[in-house]
Structure 1
Amino acid sequence: MAAPIARPGTAYDFMVFIGRFRPFHLGHLAVMRQALALGRHLILLVGSSRQARSHRNPFRFEEVRACILGAVPPEEHGRLTILPLIDRYNDLEWIRDVQAAVHGVVHEVVARHHRPAGGTEPAVGLIGHSRDHGSHSLRMFPQWGAVDCATVGGISATPIRDAYFSDAAAALEAWRDALPANVAAFLADFARSADYRRLAEESAYIARYKAGWAAAPYPPTFLTTDAVVVLSGHVLLVERRALPGRGLLALPGGFVGQHERIRDAMIRELREETRLKVPAGFLEGGIRASRIFDHPHRSSRGRTVTQAFLIQLKATEEGFPKVRGGDDAKSARWMPIAEIDPEHMFEDHFHIIQTLIAQSGS
């Protein structure tokens, strides 16, 4: 049975709680209790939504939402709004997304239920832990109140995920006191799925990959490059052949050799993985933009910095150049940009495409 949550106080009309909640645990639930004790309505924004399953983000937004609602008494559901929040490389865009989501909920709830006395603006508070990796969000919204809350029993989602993908049964036993009963049931059920088996295999691969660098004097940083080749509203993608991300769509690219310039490595990887029959000089001449993508968690393999290049090809009467998979790519294809599904894209490649296209004005 879900634990009861306190009735609202009067400090705020709306509370905002941002997290990834993978998995949702009792520490998250404790923050929700505090938020609902301080405000009339709680807005939960589920970060890293709308992307492919990975060791770090194994569950889709709809699954996370169901886990949260299942841990809360049904009579409290009317006081909750749970929305997806996608990752952004631009902090201003991410702030805009948060502001827009909160504004939309506030407008809808106020219009439907209540309006603060005297016509004043609804009071909004943002709740979180000041010492975790997302603490900067408490400082990004000075127009809202900031509520710092302590962690509960040192519970963290990362060791739960690590243990879960190593041995689901043992992890659920070891962490049973940290999880709501409905979340434990969801994890037990998910462990019987093909998605779990793929993620467990990928998790083991990543552990071996990192072990290979364990003796390095400093944590390594890897340098890669990616190509965003655009033609007539289509982008050139490959299907990954191997782990990590086997079966996902990705940009053609790879690691930069010790004696290569980054641009040369990009063209080499592009031609090796797609067999694109366009001379290197034409590819270089078609470069319209480039950008470094360096989010610390952009790759599950470790600190991996990539420089991506946008290449704009000119349309000809011959149509799309023929491509086929090669090297690390199982296949290659031209895909309409509007039809790309971020939940089937490798790592942050969907966001790389969107960012470079916006940057170039294509």
Structure 2
Amino acid sequence: MTLAVYIGRFQPPHRAHVDTMLSALERHARLLVLPGSADLARSVKNPWSAPERVRMIRAALAGAGADLRRVRFAPLPDEFDAALWAAGVRVAVGTPDAVLVGCEKDATSSYLRWFPEWEADSAPVTPGLNATDLRRAYFTGEPVPDLPDAVWAALGAFRQTRTFRRLRAEYTAVQAERSRLAGATLPLREVRHCHVAGGHVWLRRRTGPIGRGLWELPGRWLDLGESPPPGARVFGHPSRSLVLPGVAHVLLSDGGGEAVPLAWALARPRQFFEDHHVILRRLLGSPAAP
């Protein structure tokens, strides 16, 4: 029985996503959906948790008459490292007898070429339809087209929550910061400190509208022309930053902050800003600079 695999962030699940799943179910016996960014905090880029996205997709598929007994979901964490992420995908799929469903529309779809052992099942591209534009419309109060009825209902309910109001304020702040930094030399550079001792890690709570209340590694932005500190571990994945592409130079040193039990922090990735939980895990697992 052929297994079709469909990877995406589905933020939110739109008509083309659901049509692709329905088409895959017509051609293959089973469908495995891997909702990505499952371990990241809510943000304007990832507003909905993995369980919320799974419920929306299941409801949309059921509304279209799909047999949900043939559909399985396995939320996929981000690693901000192509090789580690691809390894996680292979573990989630668990078989070499799979078909990878998707459409290569831009650089974010390049992962479709990372699994040569799987047959490719290309889905058609829907011109002008992408989740980035749908999120922009959602947070600015514009009509949000191309959503299945079940997804539209879920987003309408979410709009009534305090979480939506926080994310809408974050969206406004992100756009303002991008305008302020227009013309800046990219990527932006920052220095962060990872201090672990006595079963604790030193963290700082964010207070501004971008990532309000989330934990981060203490640090600061580097001034223009300022050299990064020697011996720092570099984290520069293109998708790590919410505002503009940024590179973190991380030192294993004391940079202040609040002592937080390390085990508690490691168990709560969705309470960390951007990729800071991934940085913490990576440093604890491999402290030597690459």
1:241 to 207, 231, 234: 207
Please state how far the C-alpha of 1:219 moved relative to its aligned partner.
6.6
Query: Is 1:33 matched with 2:22?
Result: yes
1:144 to 85, 105, 118: 118
Q: Partners of 2:238 and 2:97 in 1: how far apart?
A: 34
- Partner of 2:251, secondary structure, is strand
1:356 to 257, 274, 283: 283
Query: Is 1:196 matched with 2:196?
Result: no
Extract unaligned runs of 5+ from structure 2.
none
Q: Partners of 1:290 and 1:356 in 2: how far apart?
A: 11
1:22 to 11, 17, 20: 11
Q: Partners of 1:41 and 1:152 in 2: how far apart?
A: 24
Query: Is 1:67 matched with 2:56?
Result: yes
Please state how far the C-alpha of 1:360 moved relative to its aligned partner.
1.7
Query: Is 1:162 matched with 2:136?
Result: yes
Extract unaligned runs of 5+ from structure 1.
1-11, 107-121, 265-288, 314-320, 324-331
Please state how far the C-alpha of 1:306 moved relative to its aligned partner.
1.2
Q: Partners of 1:299 and 1:195 in 2: how far apart?
A: 20
1:230-269 equivalences under 5 Å are 230-258=196-224, 260-263=226-229
- Partner of 2:20, secondary structure, is helix
Q: For the Cα contact (< 8 Å) 1:16–1:44, is it kept in 2?
A: yes
Query: Is 1:336 matched with 2:278?
Result: no
Task: Give the match for residue 44 of structure 2.
Answer: 55
Task: Give the match for residue 171 of structure 1.
Answer: 143
Please state how far the C-alpha of 1:183 moved relative to its aligned partner.
0.5
Q: For the Cα contact (< 8 Å) 2:81–2:237, is it kept in 1?
A: no
Give the counterpart letter for 1:253 in structure 2: G
Provide the TM-score with structure 1 as the length reference. 0.74
Give the counterpart letter for 1:224 in structure 2: E
- Partner of 2:67, secondary structure, is helix
Give the counterpart letter for 1:26 in structure 2: R
Task: Give the match for residue 151 of structure 2.
Answer: 183
Q: For the Cα contact (< 8 Å) 2:205–2:216, is it kept in 1?
A: yes
Q: Partners of 2:219 and 2:2 in 1: how far apart?
A: 48
Query: Is 1:85 matched with 2:76?
Result: yes
Q: For the Cα contact (< 8 Å) 1:290–1:356, is it kept in 2?
A: no
Please state how far the C-alpha of 1:149 moved relative to its aligned partner.
1.5
Report how many aligned residue pairs link the two structures. Answer: 284
Q: For the Cα contact (< 8 Å) 1:213–1:220, is it kept in 2?
A: no
Q: For the Cα contact (< 8 Å) 1:27–1:153, is it kept in 2?
A: no
Please state how far the C-alpha of 1:19 moved relative to its aligned partner.
0.2
Q: For the Cα contact (< 8 Å) 1:310–1:357, is it kept in 2?
A: no
Q: Partners of 2:112 and 2:224 in 1: how far apart?
A: 41
Could you say what the CA RMSD is over the residues aligned between the two structures, in angstroms? 2.1
Q: Partners of 1:150 and 1:158 in 2: how far apart?
A: 18
Q: Partners of 1:291 and 1:243 in 2: how far apart?
A: 28
2:33 to 44, 51, 76: 44
1:305-324 equivalences under 5 Å are 305-311=247-253
- Partner of 1:292, secondary structure, is strand
